[in-house]
């Protein structure tokens, strides 16, 4: 069901508010919501979520008054603790106090504040390597899911509808962002109006509503809202799109919004076709990952292979963005050996294609890969290529090719070996016994910012032995331990 709001520009203020409330209620019902279903809202205190909460309460109060019904609304607000506490917690307190003013005889509004741990967002951002905004969103949705599950158990509800306040502007910004990130069909569809996770149904009733209409609704109703200070910071990609790119689009190409929305709809049609085409083709679970028959996977059109592979990444749940260059290597042909990227490993064995999650054992800010045979592994700063050493049986010749195509080589490394960043406890062989790697770095005058980037090559066996500290890759000396 598609609802358009454009006619509201010509309405009186009173009619505008009534029509807004009615359309929000009808939109919620179009998602399958019925009186008696559990209803949750995520509210930040910003204009969008305050508008959605107010509109839903107003619409349900009017409906339930006529039908003599009672509806409970469960609100959750999250303190991410990434801004000053008086601002971040202040937003949550504002939401809680506002909820107290909304309860009526027919609509009961209860609010719970969830405080994340200090540095929880920054720690996850460092681990996932996808920024603070992504980490905050990830943790927020974990809170939403747990909150909804608690409500379902408490209210003995078979279905829980969880309303989120994304609007049309959010949708457009997301579509621009996905385009800049080179997204495939699945991501080009933008923000979904409805998403089902078991018995939790996430809905976005304002996804077709402009920010201008939302602010008009609040101003007419005399309702204040909170403003997140980070919204003005262009360190975040979404804010750069909002503040720098969108104004240029508005001036240079007034029809860009319709074009983008139409492109999104086309992507949805394509996604529907893809889903039908691979229906019944599933990954099988195994230790640390999933597998599929190689002949089944490579008999499919390359577009379907791509979508199946991304589905495998979702199942193993690495939480990391996998570059398309890696995806292309897998979907173009059967991998001749194991290939790795971030926390993902893909390889073929007999008649099966495996996608597995690799547990990182190095520092979270570093890198780690165990090499058991020829192949290549991509890292943020370049690619490691491994081949058998022609002169020494059972040993490897390794090359590291940087992003700027500089090539560095080391020979006679025994399999298996670990290519990783340093660990605090690392010690290397020296003339008079052993020496702490940190002291080696000090002697070589290695900048603190470079110490996590210098590769350590550790041969694995009965006694793990560091064979090389590959400083030349960053312009420093090497520490090589000869046989």
For tokens 């405080």, what's the residue?
115
Cβ neighbors of 310 (< 8 A, separation 6 or more) are 184, 186, 327
Residue 439: both structure tokens together: 């002291």
Nearest one of 473, 354, 345, 469 to 419, comparing CA atoms: 469
Cβ neighbors of 256 (< 8 A, separation 6 or more) are 249, 250
Output the pTM of the full model. 0.69
Q: Please give the Cα distance from 433 to 96 (Å, whole number).
A: 64
Q: Please give the Cα distance from 387 to 384 (Å, whole number).
A: 10
- 3-state DSSP assignment of residue 195: strand
Phi, psi of 225 (to 5 degrees): -140, 165
Given a contact cutoff of 8 angstroms between Cβ atoms, the answer to whether 369 and 377 are in contact is yes
Burial of 254 (0-12, 13-18, 19+ CB in 10 A): exposed
The pLDDT of residue 426 is: 86
Cα of first residue to Cα of last residue in the chain, in angstroms, is 72
Given a contact cutoff of 8 angstroms between Cβ atoms, the answer to whether 478 and 469 are in contact is yes
Q: How would you write the pLDDT of the chain (483 residues) with one tens digit per residue?
A: 444 444 556 689 999 999 999 999 999 999 999 877 999 999 999 999 999 999 999 999 999 888 888 899 999 999 999 999 899 999 999 999 999 999 998 899 999 999 999 889 988 887 776 778 888 999 999 999 999 999 999 999 989 999 999 999 999 999 998 888 776 666 778 999 999 998 999 999 999 999 999 999 999 999 999 998 888 878 778 888 999 999 999 999 989 999 999 999 998 999 899 999 999 999 999 988 999 999 999 999 999 999 999 999 988 876 667 878 889 999 999 988 888 876 788 999 889 999 998 765 444 456 888 888 888 888 878 889 999 988 778 789 999 998 878 889 998 898 889 999 888 788 888 777 788 898 889 888 988 888 888 999 998 887 788 989 999 999 899 998 866
What structural domains and CATH numbers belong to the chain?
A: 6-261 (3.40.50.620), 284-357 (3.30.465), 368-480 (no CATH)
The pLDDT of residue 282 is: 93
Q: Please give the Cα distance from 259 to 261 (Å, whole number).
A: 6
The pLDDT of residue 364 is: 45
- 3-state DSSP assignment of residue 80: coil
| DSSP letter (8 states) at residue 43 | -
Q: Please give the Cα distance from 132 to 267 (Å, whole number).
A: 28
- 3-state DSSP assignment of residue 408: strand
Nearest one of 199, 100, 99, 71 to 145, comparing CA atoms: 199
Phi, psi of 110 (to 5 degrees): -120, 140
Q: How far from 226 is each of 101, 238, 343, CA to CA, in Å? A: 16, 19, 39
Burial of 482 (0-12, 13-18, 19+ CB in 10 A): exposed
Phi, psi of 39 (to 5 degrees): -130, 125
Phi, psi of 4 (to 5 degrees): -110, 145
For tokens 């996430």, what's the residue?
202
Phi, psi of 35 (to 5 degrees): -55, 130
The pLDDT of residue 209 is: 96
The pLDDT of residue 369 is: 85
Question: For 354-387, how does the pLDDT look when each residue is reduced to its tens digit (9 = 90+)?
Answer: 999 876 544 445 688 888 888 888 887 888 999 9
Burial of 478 (0-12, 13-18, 19+ CB in 10 A): middle
The pLDDT of residue 213 is: 96
- 3-state DSSP assignment of residue 15: helix
Which segments of 251-360 are extended strands (E)?
Answer: 284-286, 289-293, 339-341, 344-349, 352-357
The pLDDT of residue 338 is: 82
Nearest one of 264, 178, 246, 170 to 211, comparing CA atoms: 170
For tokens 């003599």, what's the residue?
68
Q: What is the 3-state secondary structure (H, E, C) of 104-123?
A: CCCEEEEEEEEECCCCHHHH
Strand order in the sheet with 465-469: 368-371, 417-420, 456-459, 465-469, 479-480
The pLDDT of residue 4 is: 43
């Amino acid at each position: 069901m598609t609802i358009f709001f454009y006619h509201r520009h010509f309405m009186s203020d009173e009619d505008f508010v009534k029509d807004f409330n009615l359309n929000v209620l009808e939109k919620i019902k179009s998602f399958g919501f019925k009186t008696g279903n559990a209803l949750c809202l995520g509210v930040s205190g910003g204009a969008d979520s305050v508008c959605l909460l107010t509109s839903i309460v107003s619409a349900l109060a009017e409906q339930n008054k006529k039908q003599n019904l009672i509806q409970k609304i469960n609100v959750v607000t999250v303190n991410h603790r990434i801004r000053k506490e008086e601002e971040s917690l202040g937003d949550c307190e504002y939401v809680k106090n506002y909820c107290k003013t909304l309860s009526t005889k027919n609509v009961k509004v209860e609010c719970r504040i969830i405080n994340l741990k200090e540095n929880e967002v920054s720690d996850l951002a460092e681990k996932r390597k996808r920024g603070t905004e992504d980490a905050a969103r990830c943790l927020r949705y974990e809170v939403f899911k747990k909150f909804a599950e608690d409500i379902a158990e408490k209210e003995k509800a078979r279905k829980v509808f969880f309303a989120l306040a994304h609007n049309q502007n959010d949708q457009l910004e997301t579509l621009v962002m996905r385009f800049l990130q080179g997204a495939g069909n699945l991501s080009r569809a933008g923000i979904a109006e409805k998403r089902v996770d078991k018995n939790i149904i996430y809905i976005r009733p304002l996804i077709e509503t402009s920010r201008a209409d939302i602010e008009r609704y609040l101003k007419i109703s005399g309702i204040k809202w909170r403003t997140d200070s980070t919204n003005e910071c262009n360190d975040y990609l979404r804010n750069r799109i909002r503040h720098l790119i969108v104004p240029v689009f508005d001036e240079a190409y007034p029809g860009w919004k319709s074009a983008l929305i139409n492109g999104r709809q086309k992507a949805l049609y394509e996604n529907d076709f893809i889903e039908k085409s691979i229906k019944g083709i599933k990954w099988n679970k195994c230790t640390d990952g999933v597998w599929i028959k190689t002949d089944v996977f490579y008999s499919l059109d390359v577009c379907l292979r791509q979508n199946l592979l991304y589905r495998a990444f979702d199942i193993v749940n690495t939480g990391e963005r996998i570059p398309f260059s890696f995806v292309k290597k897998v979907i173009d042909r059967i991998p001749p050996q194991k290939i790795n990227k971030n926390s993902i490993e893909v390889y073929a064995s007999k008649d099966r294609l495996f996608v597995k999650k690799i547990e990182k054992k190095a520092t979270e800010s570093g890198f780690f890969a165990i090499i058991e045979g020829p192949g290549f592994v991509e890292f943020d700063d370049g690619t490691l290529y491994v081949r058998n050493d022609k002169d020494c049986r059972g040993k490897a010749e390794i090359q590291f090719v940087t992003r700027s195509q500089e090539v560095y080589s080391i020979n006679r490394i025994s399999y298996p070996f670990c290519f990783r960043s340093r660990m605090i406890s690392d010690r290397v062989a020296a003339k008079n016994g052993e020496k702490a790697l940190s002291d080696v770095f000090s002697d070589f005058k290695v900048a603190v910012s470079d110490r996590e980037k210098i590769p350590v090559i550790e041969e694995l066996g009965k006694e793990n032995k560091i064979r090389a500290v590959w400083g030349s890759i960053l312009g420093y000396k090497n520490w090589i331990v000869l046989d």
